[in-house]
Structure 1
Amino acid sequence: MSTELETLRQEIMRRTQGALSLDIAYVGVVNGLLAALDELGNAPPSRLAEATDMDAGYVLRWCDAAYAFELLEESAPGEFQLAPLGRAFIPDRPDTLMPFAVQAMLSAHMSERAAGLMRSGERPGEKVLAERETVLPWFGPMLEYQFGPLLEKQVVDQVPVFRAVDERGGLAVDLGCGNGWYLRALARRCPHLRGIGLDGFEENISQATRLAEQEQLNDRLNFAVGDLHNFHIEEPVDLIAMNRALHHVWDEKENVFRILREHLRPGGAAVIWEPNWPARRGDLRSPARRGMAFQNLSEHVQGNHFLRPEEIAEQFRAVGLEPEVHFVADGRDAIVTGTLPA
């Protein structure tokens, strides 16, 4: 074997080990094993299975695998405790690594679907997200931990419309709200803002409602099953948000932008948050953008593709809204606002 081939082989083995580590972490996240062991301190697999109401045989084998990949340490013969790596994946910890585990499993699922559909060209749509029952409940939390800090640290401060809506106690509507992370973050930063979140998945609305109640925001925020094409708000809306959702309905863009404009009050704005698809293919080689390139393949399975900010701005102009583009996350994401003249 040549030196070059051996080097490549070692690199692939290293990447495979990383992927397997995320797989084991995912099992521990979605079944509450990591969180339970954190509370217990240390425990044999049988005690951990009892605490999480899981099958003891599965938990034993998971503990062996988690130990092998250094998520667990053996505190005594036959007993385990969290290693620093395992503790880093606990979902409710600040800066949790949980999104990486969920994204790894979702990526594997979408890869398999893309491989099977490539010959026929079929694009089954968003329903593929619900095909793995353990993934959907974690989709919202994944997005919240990935993008919630970015919203609070960069987006709210850089986009003036949020302050304007808050000052007048305005109404914000989030289309495709997921688990409500966007409206909950806005409500924490903007104490006078009111919000309505709509989403097509009942699981997401249940999560959003529960989390708003836990944060005592349910007096200002309401969530309901609904979508862009079938919502009716009794009052004109100050802000309509679509977060990483516009590309899902881009093939109906003329109708979508008409609907956005019709629901805005004068001076109100639509706020579109999308990945900033680069104009140059070479930019996809950047480590920060490689994930976007893969995700665009999975978006194709769902019938979508990523957009460039100028495409969104042009559609705003077409319906009489004044566009403004803001870049965040070192240019990887774009916030495009379209304001209805007062």
Structure 2
Amino acid sequence: MMTIRLCAIGDRLGLFTDLAENGPATSQVMADRTGLNERYLREWIYGMSLAGYLSFDKQSREVSMPEAHIPALVDVGGPLYQGGLFKMFTGFMQPYEDLIESFEKGGGIDYEAYPDDFWKGLEHNSCVRYKNLLVSQWLPEMPDVQAKLENGGTFADFGCGAGRSSIELAKAYPKAKFYGFDLFPKNIENARKTAEEEGVSDRVEFQVHDIAKGVPGQFDVVATFDLIHDMADPKGGLKALRQACKDDGIYVLMDVDCTDDPADNEGPLAVFKLGASLHFCMTSSLGQGGMGLGTVGFPESKVKEFSSEAGFSSVRRLPIEHPLNALYEIRP
């Protein structure tokens, strides 16, 4: 826990980037370079070095960034970058008293209780997956989706966040038209800005929209990425997605990979999933009076059950390997 917090500080203040770009430094040199307090930097350096993230020379008192650690700590958007995770941890730990109250009284935590860093962390994590996996590795497993986009079809991402999925796809499939819908105006504002910067605003449209209030049209491909398990009404959400999906369309569902029995989840990410559920996924759903599926509440069996109830006829789990997510191709 403390290591992640120290990493979050290094990420937020640009300390990792300073060491990678400007080379080894004592705490005083780092203070001169960054304008930060030397005493605080000195303590941070000791902590990060003892954790093994940085190298420390006891003779020169200089700290340095191991070249092998740069992809994880500095290369924003790269396949190994972990800065988003550091932000997320720091962010969803903040409404601690609200979580304790929920244990005592029920209910849950409102989205507004989470700081900007949490949402930035989510966006950074999504960016890593979409930039490095979605187009190059996941789409080739869905040739019919590829064909629809290559032929100028329409694609809608519900719960699009900052819009990274639609933007990356728009760069790869210039003939298609992409739409991103999200409940939060700030997400849509950021998505529109990024689309402009990436040069795809002519074929990507972002709108503030709540899927719980219906759908804005029908599309060749609809998608949700890490959305359904968070929803207050996941069954209602899937029924809305069926309405949004054309009869010959395809629904692309990405959600957390988990087991039927929560107690059977194992591996290094099992505790993370349950902790994330308590601190955000489950509690935010319960805070809206919802089902509270939680991070490990939507295994493949429930995907098939809920999809069938919503009017979809087939569910195919794709043969991808990812430490956190499972991917499905679902058809009406």
- Which of 314, 319, 329 matches 2:321? 329
Give the Cα separation in 2 of the matches to 1:321 and 1:225: 26
* CA drift at 1:158: 2.0
Partner of 1:166, secondary structure, is helix
Residues 1:269 and 2:243 are matched in the alignment: no
Residues 1:178 and 2:169 are matched in the alignment: no
1:221-240 equivalences under 5 Å are 221-229=204-212, 233=216, 236-240=218-222
1:214-253 equivalences under 5 Å are 214-229=197-212, 233=216, 236-251=218-233, 253=235
- Which of 143, 152, 163 matches 1:169? 152
Aligned to 1:315: 306
Gaps of 5+ in 1: 1-18
Give the Cα separation in 2 of the matches to 1:186 and 1:221: 10
* CA drift at 1:214: 3.3
Higher mean C-alpha displacement, 310-319 vs 267-276: 310-319
Give the Cα separation in 2 of the matches to 1:197 and 1:55: 42
1:94-173 equivalences under 5 Å are 94-106=79-91, 108-109=93-94, 113-128=98-113, 130=114, 132-146=115-129, 148-173=131-156
Q: Could you say if the C-alpha distance between residues 308 and 81 of structure 1 is closer, same or farther in structure 2, counting changes exceeding 3 Å?
A: closer
Gaps of 5+ in 2: 286-291
- Aligned residue identity for 2:326: A
Q: Could you say if the C-alpha distance between residues 146 and 49 of structure 1 is closer, same or farther in structure 2, counting changes exceeding 3 Å?
A: farther
Q: Could you say if the C-alpha distance between residues 49 and 244 of structure 1 is closer, same or farther in structure 2, counting changes exceeding 3 Å?
A: same
Q: Could you say if the C-alpha distance between residues 230 and 319 of structure 1 is closer, same or farther in structure 2, counting changes exceeding 3 Å?
A: closer
- Aligned residue identity for 1:227: D
Partner of 2:120, secondary structure, is helix
Query: How big is each residue's C-alpha offset from its partner over 1:24-71, in whole Å with a ceiling of 9 and x where there is no partner?
Result: 111111222222332223455566557656566644543454344444
Partner of 2:303, secondary structure, is helix
Is 2:86–2:121's contact at 8 Å kept on the other side of the alignment?
no
Partner of 1:123, secondary structure, is coil
Query: How big is each residue's C-alpha offset from its partner over 1:293-332, in whole Å with a ceiling of 9 and x where there is no partner?
Result: 3333332221232213333333333343323221433696
Q: Could you say if the C-alpha distance between residues 134 and 276 of structure 1 is closer, same or farther in structure 2, counting changes exceeding 3 Å?
A: closer
Aligned to 2:289: none
- Aligned residue identity for 2:225: N
Give the Cα separation in 1 of the matches to 2:224 and 2:102: 28
Aligned to 1:12: none
Q: Could you say if the C-alpha distance between residues 66 and 331 of structure 1 is closer, same or farther in structure 2, counting changes exceeding 3 Å?
A: closer
Q: Could you say if the C-alpha distance between residues 266 and 110 of structure 1 is closer, same or farther in structure 2, counting changes exceeding 3 Å?
A: same
Structure 1 vs Structure 2 CA RMSD: 3.4
Is 1:37–1:81's contact at 8 Å kept on the other side of the alignment?
yes
Query: How big is each residue's C-alpha offset from its partner over 1:94-140, in whole Å with a ceiling of 9 and x where there is no partner?
Result: 42232443344346447765444212112124334x2x343322221
Is 1:187–1:193's contact at 8 Å kept on the other side of the alignment?
yes
Normalising by the residue count of structure 1, what TM-score does the alignment of the two structures yield? Answer: 0.76
- Which of 14, 18, 32 matches 1:36? 18
Q: Could you say if the C-alpha distance between residues 210 and 296 of structure 1 is closer, same or farther in structure 2, counting changes exceeding 3 Å?
A: same
- Which of 281, 285, 293 matches 2:266? 285
Q: Could you say if the C-alpha distance between residues 114 and 79 of structure 1 is closer, same or farther in structure 2, counting changes exceeding 3 Å?
A: same
Partner of 2:156, secondary structure, is strand
Partner of 2:231, secondary structure, is helix
Q: Could you say if the C-alpha distance between residues 56 and 209 of structure 1 is closer, same or farther in structure 2, counting changes exceeding 3 Å?
A: farther
Q: Could you say if the C-alpha distance between residues 311 and 58 of structure 1 is closer, same or farther in structure 2, counting changes exceeding 3 Å?
A: same
Is 2:88–2:118's contact at 8 Å kept on the other side of the alignment?
no
* CA drift at 1:156: 1.3
Higher mean C-alpha displacement, 57-66 vs 140-149: 57-66
Partner of 1:296, secondary structure, is helix
Identity percentage over the alignment?
19
